[in-house]
């Protein structure tokens, strides 16, 4: 089970690895479905999937890029949080590629510290695709003007711990990583309370989550009004202060704030800060704001705050549980409630396979496949990767192991799919999906 920070020995490549792009299922069948054979098959297939999705080259402008696309051909660009997860998975097989991917994420940003949600490294999104993406100009651009869940410093620390061959990596980017977190503070925390605001639903990575329905309404990601949400933000130059002041559709987002606090804490450690250090203090301040402002004592969940009135959004999704990732910055009694009243509750999140993206007792829960709606119920690997270690840390090791084993069984059967049906583990969405290789971290000893 993953222990939190990296530092694990590299996994040697397996001579029986399936050919790139082939599903893990066929390779595993010949090796048996449990124990060491199972883990070896999954590891080999994970490495093959990451290799198949690897893209390296140079832009016309000369900049070098090296990253893993999430799931070609549908997802063939660089996505911020996907790349952070890919690098975390890559560190088991090839830490040099893990470092190259994180450096590419950083290189895509602006000198003021802004890092985009999506980067079109090989060719810019042109007019045909640009309206769908949050580009600065409707005729297209090399990147979006939106952010992704800010996990880069967090991933950087994990990859640095697995990089004894490149000891300088840990500190080579302290200044740009700090600029990035400062940009977020200046542009996405206009009321200065420590919680970050998103101005488009997909900035959290959860494009169509039902928790955004009451906030974005007809401007939601899965509705036609989304084009107008993009266009009116363009007209304000993607200036988040202006957008937040002018419009009602924005959210102080629990998960994005958690990711930010995780990254502030990681940067504090990379800088060797003492407990009063700038970023360490910022992480604690955001955690305190989550407890003061987002915690719903009756329901035992952390709820997003919507619009100028900061109304709590009453939908239970996995993100309401993510403050668990802040460990001791969140009071133990609250963490226990998240685990015992929600993650282990058979009618809420304790599904047969994985951790559903929406609580099973929510009216909006839709676990099956829908091309345009993927965050309304299915189980995703990155959510399990984030939450399962905290189930174990709360003293429920057997439950944590069960979730990991059932996800491994689903991967064995279905391959690395974009997401899985929580009722039976059926694979859904694209095949050969990059961050589903995080299952390796759930299997390897910490």
Q: What angle do CA 100, 446, 358 make, to 5 degrees?
A: 80
- Of the candidate spans 32-40, 78-86, 106-114, 120-128, the one that interacts with ligand GLC by CB under 6 A turns out to be 78-86
Beta bridge partners of 126: 140
Please identify the residue of the shown chain whose CB is closest to the bound ligand GLC.
70
Q: Residue 192 to residues 3, 152, 164, 186, 381: CA-CA distances in angstroms? A: 33, 22, 38, 8, 33
**76/337 with CB nearer ligand GLC:** 76
Chain positions 350 to 389 lying near ligand GLC, rule: CB under 6 A, are: 374
**Cβ count within 10 A of residue 241:** 13
Among 6, 70, 150, 377, binds ligand GLC (CB under 6 A): 70
Q: Using CA atoms, how far apart are residues 241 and 236, in angstroms rounded to an integer? A: 10
**11/151 with CB nearer ligand GLC:** 151
Chain positions 198 to 217 lying near ligand GLC, rule: CB under 6 A, are: 205, 207
Site string for ligand GLC, 154-193 (x = CB under 6 A): ----------------------------------------
153 binds ligand GLC (CB under 6 A): no
Q: Residue 438 to residues 85, 98, 118, 275: CA-CA distances in angstroms? A: 7, 13, 20, 31
Assigned token pair, 154: 């967090």
For 244-267, the three-class secondary structure string (H helix, E strand, C coil) is HHHCCCCEECHHHHHHHHHHHHHH
Assigned token pair, 315: 């939908």
79 binds ligand GLC (CB under 6 A): yes
Q: Using CA atoms, how far apart are residues 374 and 367, in angstroms rounded to an integer? A: 9
**250/373 with CB nearer ligand GLC:** 373
The footprint of ligand GLC on this chain (CB under 6 A) covers a number of residues equal to 8
Among 54, 65, 75, 420, binds ligand GLC (CB under 6 A): 75
420 binds ligand GLC (CB under 6 A): no
Q: What residues line the site for ligand GLC (CB under 6 A)? A: 70, 75, 79, 81-82, 205, 207, 374
């Amino acid at each position: 089970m993953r222990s939190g920070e990296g530092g694990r020995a590299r996994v040697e490549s397996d001579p029986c690895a399936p050919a790139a792009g082939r599903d893990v299922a066929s390779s595993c069948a010949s090796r048996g479905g449990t124990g060491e054979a199972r883990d070896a098959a999954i590891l080999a297939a994970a490495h093959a999937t990451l290799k198949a999705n690897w893209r390296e080259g140079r832009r016309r402008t000369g900049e070098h890029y090296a990253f893993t696309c999430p799931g070609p051909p549908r997802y063939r660009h660089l996505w911020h949080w996907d790349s952070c997860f890919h690098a975390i998975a890559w560190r088991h097989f090839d830490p040099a590629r893990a470092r190259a991917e994180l450096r590419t994420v950083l290189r895509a940003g602006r000198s003021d510290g802004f890092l985009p949600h999506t980067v079109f490294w090989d060719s810019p999104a042109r007019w045909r695709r640009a309206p769908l993406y949050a580009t600065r100009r409707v005729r297209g651009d090399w990147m979006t003007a939106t952010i992704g869940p800010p996990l880069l410093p967090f991933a950087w620390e994990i990859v640095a711990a697995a990089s004894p061959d490149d000891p300088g990596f840990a500190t080579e980017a302290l200044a740009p990583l700090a600029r990035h977190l400062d940009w977020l503070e200046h542009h996405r925390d206009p009321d200065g309370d420590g919680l970050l605001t998103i101005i488009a639903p997909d900035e959290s990575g959860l494009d169509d989550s039902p928790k955004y329905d009451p906030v974005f309404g007809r401007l939601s990601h899965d509705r036609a009004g989304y084009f107008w949400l993009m266009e009116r933000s363009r007209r304000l130059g993607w200036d988040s202060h202006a957008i937040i002041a002018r419009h009602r559709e924005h959210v102080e987002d629990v998960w994005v704030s958690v990711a930010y606090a995780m990254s502030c804490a990681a940067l504090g450690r990379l800088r060797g800060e003492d407990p009063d250090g700038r970023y360490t203090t910022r992480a604690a301040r955001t955690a305190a704001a989550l407890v003061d402002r987002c915690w719903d004592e009756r329901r035992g969940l952390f709820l997003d705050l919507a619009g100028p009135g900061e109304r709590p959004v009453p939908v239970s999704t996995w993100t309401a549980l993510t403050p668990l990732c802040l460990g001791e910055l969140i009071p133990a009694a609250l963490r226990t409630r998240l685990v015992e009243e929600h993650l282990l509750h058979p009618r809420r999140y304790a599904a047969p396979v994985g951790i559903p993206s929406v609580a099973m007792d929510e009216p909006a829960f839709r676990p099956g496949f829908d091309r345009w709606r993927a965050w309304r119920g299915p189980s995703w690997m990155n959510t399990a990767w984030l939450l399962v270690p905290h189930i174990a840390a709360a003293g429920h090791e057997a439950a944590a192991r069960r979730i990991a084993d059932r996800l491994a069984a689903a991967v064995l059967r279905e391959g690395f799919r974009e997401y899985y049906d929580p009722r039976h583990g059926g694979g859904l969405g694209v095949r050969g999906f990059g961050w589903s290789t995080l299952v390796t971290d759930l299997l390897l000893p910490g």
